[in-house]
Amino acid sequence: MIRVLELLTTSALGGGPRQVYDLARRLPRDEFEVTVAAPHDGVFFDRFRKLGLTVAEVGADRLDPRTLRATLRLVREREIEVIHSHGKGAGLYGRLVARWTGVPAVHTFHGVHYERYPPRLAQLYLALERRLARWTRTVISVSATQEAEALALGLFTLSQSATVVNGVDLEEQDRLVAEAPLAREGLGLARDLFVLGTVARFDPVKRLDALVGALGALRRPRVALLLVGGGPEGDRLRRLAAGARLDGRVVFSGWLDEPARAFPAIDLYVSASQKEGLPLAVLDAMGAGLAVVATDVPGHRDVVRHGETGLLVPSGGEQALAAAIETLVDDPERRRRMGRAGRERVRTEFGVAAMVEKTGAIYRAARASCAGRASPAARSPSG
């Protein structure tokens, strides 16, 4: 039995928690024993518990020596053999504990985000990641463009690197949509509207303000924008929509436990992010048969094939977004063709089974690297 600790910076809706959820459900139970440690700040915390896992509340989203001690204690008590961290805070605590105990560390970058930091802080962050990489057996990137960027920044070496793309469970998504689709009326949308939609954390990097601006640039009164999610940008986005006299056409659904249920209400999926690791929400939308308009940035390029499954436009340009949206608003057959191509691409290239299989192989290799050593988790921090 390979005992794995999945250490998360959040249990809210997002790529890291969802990846861990899929791993915990699908890794062979007779070979892997998964323990999850995360803040109790989102829906996945209870979902992990419902799977029958050992779930520990650990504040890996903030700097606190108590978090370090709690992680160290958990590794020892559970006799953990592989530590897999997700996100900045978890990556710090997980790899420090791995260094002290001799347990092999695996770390996943769900996006390399540092550009908004002040220059000195950005350099400090990159230097810290390079140091932590020395104590990491395998660093996982969720897309090829993210791996190339991180390698260029010297965040890890090629020999440490593995690319494991995010996966979508199309069968489960189809079941959710069939059993409990969200009607437009329930979301506050009229039936005769053309609906643009996106699912995202309301964070500056997602550039949801650009989507609001693009909606205003369309000058089409029967086009609306559905924003599924929440976060620190929420109030600003509401003020922006009201100031542009779009508040009746920009609909905020809040967080949905199963965002895929909103896809039947959407005609065209849009994403204006400045940067992505590998955008699961875009993959979900493609899996639901929606054409996509997205910014031409890392992450999106790995998912959207321009002219085939959607359109890629320059980042930061509201007019470019509006122009691309307008071409597809007026061409329903092209949207349907792109939607079919996108669903097929998700089915063949972004299946959840491949993600689980590749990650399981990384865990096996990590555990094997410690074969013959006696109880690595029992070592003292001074080691």
Predicted pLDDT at 383? 42
pTM: predicted TM-score of the whole model, two decimal places: 0.91
Exposed e or buried b for every residue in 123-149, given b needs 16+ CB within 10 A?
eeebeebeebbebbbbbbbbbebbbeb
Residue 253 has pLDDT above 80, yes or no: yes
Instruction: Find the mean pLDDT for residues 140-162.
Output: 96
Region of 360 on the Ramachandran plot (φ > 0 left; ψ -120 to 50 alpha; else beta): alpha
Q: Is residue 106 part of a domain?
A: yes
Q: How far apart are CA 371 and CA 376, in angstroms?
A: 10
Does the pLDDT value for residue 152 go beyond 80? yes
Q: Does residue 331 belong to any structural domain of this protein?
A: yes
pLDDT of 52: 96
- Within-domain flag for 383: no
Task: Produce one character per residue of 273-299: b if its CB has 16 or more CB atoms within 10 Å, e if not.
Answer: bbbbbbbbbbbbbbbbbbbbbbbebbb
Same domain, 163 and 218: no
In this structure, are 296 and 357 located in the same domain? no
**pLDDT-based confidence at 223, cuts 50/70/90?**
very high
Mean pLDDT (whole number) for 273-280: 92
Is residue 292 domain-shared with residue 317, that is, in the same domain? yes
Q: What is the pLDDT of residue 382?
A: 46
16-45 tens-digit pLDDT: 999 999 999 999 999 999 999 999 998 999
The string of pLDDT tens digits covering residues 181-190 is 999 999 999 9
218 and 247 in a common domain: yes
Residues 277, 321 share a domain = yes
> Are 317 and 290 part of one and the same domain?
yes
Whether residue 191 sits in one domain with residue 121: no
Q: Are residues 134 and 214 in the same domain?
A: no
Residue 208 located in a structural domain: yes
CA–CA distances in Å: residue 128 to residues 125, 156, 170: 5, 11, 38
pLDDT band at 381 (very low <50, low <70, confident <90, very high): low
Could you list the residue range(s) of the whole structural domain that residue 269 is in?
A: 170-349
What's phi and psi for 97, nearest 5 deg? -65, -40
How does pLDDT run across 71-97, given as a tens digit for each residue?
999 999 999 999 999 999 999 999 999
pLDDT at 372 (0 to 100)? 55
Q: Which amino acid is at 222?
A: R
Domain count within the chain: 2
Query: 245 and 209, same structural domain?
Result: yes
Q: Name the percent of the chain lying above pLDDT 70.
A: 97
Does residue 45 sit in the same domain as residue 188? no
**Is 70 inside any structural domain?**
yes
Interatomic CA distance for residues 125 and 78, integer angstroms: 30
What share of the chain in percent tops pLDDT 90? 87
Quick one: 175 and 315 in the same domain? yes
Do 8 and 99 have their domain in common?
yes
Residue 265 forms part of a structural domain: yes
Query: Is residue 182 included in any domain, yes or no?
Result: yes
pLDDT tens per residue across span 305-331 = 999 999 999 998 899 999 999 999 999
- Select from 131, 128, 83 the least CA-distant residue to 104: 83
Residue 376 clears pLDDT 80, i.e. is over it? no
Sheet containing 105-109, strands listed edge to edge, beginning at the edge strand earlier in sequence = 54-57, 32-38, 2-8, 82-86, 105-109, 138-141, 161-163
CATH number at residue 152: 3.40.50.2000
Tell me the average pLDDT of the chain. 94
